[in-house]
């Protein structure tokens, strides 16, 4: 007897599920961008592929993290602008404000440690080097509140081993 060939998923359900889950991250960012900001003790660790298509920011910063970077949105972030396909935010690195634009498709992890909520996504393919753009400098530097400086952290401590 001949065996039927495996059924091919022509609907691409896995990609649809990834997009739907990225919608959760997008909705959380929209809520954080509201005038009242992040509610309670919520804060986000967002890991993204720096070499993904559409990621933009200062080359000196992205060059330090040629594959992946984690940003923290908690106390010191400005001008959070979640759009339909990407979000932009200004963070301080080394005391300097730097603007990043990150497509939702570049996100590989979205983590809110206040409630132990974690989403992991399939990484996107890297973009060709000429497709990466440098973000324009902010028009005026935000005034930083008196607090600790934002840092890039490794999520290795949260990964299951």
> What's the pTM?
0.75
Relative to beta strand 107-112, strand 44-49 is antiparallel
Domains defined for the chain, CATH in brackets: 14-33+42-155 (2.30.30.220)
C-alpha neighbours within 13 Å on the C-beta side of residue 135: 23
- The CA-based angle 66-150-112, given to 5 degrees, is 85
Q: What is the pLDDT of residues 35-44, one digit of tens each?
A: 988 999 999 9
Q: What is the pLDDT of residues 125-149, one digit of tens each?
A: 777 766 555 544 444 444 443 343 4
């Amino acid at each position: 007897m001949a065996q039927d060939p495996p059924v091919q998923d022509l609907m691409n359900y896995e990609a649809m599920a990834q997009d739907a889950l990225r919608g959760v991250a997008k909705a959380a960012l929209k809520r954080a961008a509201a005038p009242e900001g992040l509610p309670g003790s919520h804060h986000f660790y967002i890991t993204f592929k720096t070499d993904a298509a559409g990621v933009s920011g200062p080359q000196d910063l992205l060059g330090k993290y040629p594959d992946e970077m984690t940003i923290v949105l908690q106390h010191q972030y400005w001008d959070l602008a979640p759009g339909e396909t990407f979000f932009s935010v200004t963070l301080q690195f080394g005391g300097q404000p730097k603007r990043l634009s990150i497509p939702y498709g570049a996100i590989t992890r979205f983590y809110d440690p206040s409630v132990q909520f974690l989403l992991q996504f399939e990484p996107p393919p890297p973009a060709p080097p000429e497709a990466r753009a440098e973000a324009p400098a902010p028009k005026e530097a935000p005034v930083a509140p008196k607090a600790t400086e934002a840092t890039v952290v490794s999520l290795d401590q949260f990964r299951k081993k």
